[in-house]
Amino acid sequence: MMSTPLEQLVSRSREIGEDPSLVVYGGGNTSAKGVLVDHLGREQRVMWVKGSGADMRGSTASDYPALRLDDLRPLLARDDMSDEEMTDLVARALLDPGARRPSIETLLHAFLPYTHIDHVHADAICALTNHAEGPRIVAEALGEGFAYVDWMRPGFTLSKVVAELGDRDGVVLAHHGLITWGESTEVCAEHTRATVARAAAYLDALPMRVEAPARVPDMPDDEIERLLLHLRGAMSRTGRRVLHIDDRLRAVADRPDIADVVAGGVSSADHMLRIKPRSVIVASAASAAEDVDGYAAEYSAYVERNSEAMPEGFGMHDPMPRVALVPGLGAITTGATLRDAEVAADIAMRTHEVAATVADRIGAPEPLSDRETFRFDYWPMELYKLTLRPPAPDLAGYIAIVTGAASGIGRGIAVELAARGASLVLADLDGEGLEEAAERLRERGGAAPVLVAGDQSDEGVVEETVRRAVRDFGGLDGAVINAGIGVTGTLEELTLAQWDSAQRINLTSGFLLTRAAMRVLREQGSGGSLVYVASKNAFGPGAGFGAYSVSKAGMVQLMRIAALEGGGAGIRANAINPDAVFDNSRLWDDGLREERAAAHGIAPGELEDFYASRNILKRRVTTADVAATAAFLLSDASSRTTGAVIPVDGGVAGAFPR
């Protein structure tokens, strides 16, 4: 059976979407025209066009809403039309009013008579146009048959301009991309492919204007870590973010003319939605804060001088860079999650490689004018795409370590923090349990955590845990010091080894992580929060549970010292005193349940109810209760609280903090 135009469109678009040299992350759009029988059985001439912000890669039929051509074509007679009116009129042509919003370039597709149309933001095409000699180079590369259209923001006027060029071989849009077409999907696809290949071959055949640059020496590891911390610290003035190192941009970052490449701006205008109009160049850890401040000041000045073009109801975006190019390293990109930062790196790679190709083969890369950059940067039609994303959760961009995360309270805290958008390093002795915890996070929609399997009372393991937060996410905001074991026995019974292991695993591990985390937080310079999961036993000890109770009392004192010493650097420290948390906690395995039951003169199975009956509120305490308190203490909601102990024990008068 012959496939329908819509099926052909989806399959052709998916193929385009697979090639990042043609489109990335929702860029470009495609269309097909045909006949559809509507809900009342009438035949309608329609056009299917990609939805605004839809990614061609992996797209499905629902990403291509159908519009009545008879409602779109007459609009060609208009002289003028605002974006708002255009959006409204296009929406009225939808066959299904509930369909996703069609591309801002819908009229461009509707006004051209062809059955199949591709519009891609191909790198090779952008390299032909993003400099002073665009028209000449396009004609040389693709022949006189192709039309060259100087930069014009998409919308009604551009659609009318392109409608006049339907008799040409195709249309090149400066600083934007390519429009090609065909009567069949095969002809259209081949036309797109061949045109981009011709542009690439033309560029390859041009002689290199500059010598291949010498490689800048690799940045040493400790310098990279300092650089990440200083960058993140400087950027944290406007919010938290994850930083990601991408070495694919190393060759670009090492170029002696890197400033010229960056000055070329973005290759296709829509890249600025994700990576801003410019990247910043950062030379070293020592200069990072100054480089970022300089960038933010320049961005603010650009918004200020274009303020009369600011659309109503909008304000300045975050002035911090999304992409930093670092000689000797590559790029450091930012985002609310590692995934966002990786997307920014993918886009930055296209943008800067196009500018580098222009510099190598043609001449100085040129950006859009300041005003046109601003008009695109603050274009409500483009910003609409961002509104399609769910709102950022309250811990987006927050980086935290959770120890003892393989089970029990630690795992519960990790799940809670991940659900709130935090990027996590999870540590535990139990590597298999960590994998399970990571799986639980993914099930709940959290980002993939970094896992560190090892003994948190080992200095080297703790240093590595903190280092991974810096290397993998760019810094640190908080740590939940939770790893611990239960050790029972009266003082007369306890062996030295039992006593030592309780202190080492419950308390010394807390000291080691406090030390390592505080050093990093101080270097980063944007404060932080340390949360100690102590115990009701710290204030209300139990006979026969001495080694444990002493270690937890020590932990509360450790927290107080951390609060005193860290306060000047904005580092907060607080403790949680839970009691009798049973759900999925391994603390009660290995005989502890039986021993505590015996100590209270009850059967082991009665222990949960016994503890619940003992507290003031008569309620069982769960990991979720402790996790919610940990999230509160890590977050800015508790920004004025340090040195505090919060009981999560249902109320035990003998263990009230004092």
Looking at the annotation, which residues are catalytic?
A: 548
Spatial separation of the C-alpha atoms in residues 52 and 61, rounded to whole Å: 14
Pairing of strands 323-326, 330-335: antiparallel
Spatial separation of the C-alpha atoms in residues 354 and 259, rounded to whole Å: 14
DSSP secondary structure letters along 193-248: HHHHHHHHHHHHHSPPSSPPPPPPPPPPHHHHHHHHHHHHHHHGGG---EEEEEGG
Long-range residue pairs from 604-607, CB within 8 A, at least 24 positions apart, any chain: 607/580, 607/582
CA neighbor of 574 nearest in space, from 645, 657, 511 = 645
Spatial separation of the C-alpha atoms in residues 195 and 179, rounded to whole Å: 10
Q: Output the CA–CA distances (angstroms, integers) from residue 191 to 180, 468, 473, in the order listed.
A: 7, 48, 43
Which H or E run includes 92? Answer: helix 83-92
- The residue length of the chain stands at 658
Identity of the residue numbered 221:
D
Spatial separation of the C-alpha atoms in residues 653 and 179, rounded to whole Å: 74
Coil, strand or helix at 135: helix
The answer to whether the beta carbons of residues 573 and 560 sit under 8 Å apart is yes
Spatial separation of the C-alpha atoms in residues 92 and 636, rounded to whole Å: 45
Residue 569 phi/psi, 5-degree rounding, is -100, 15
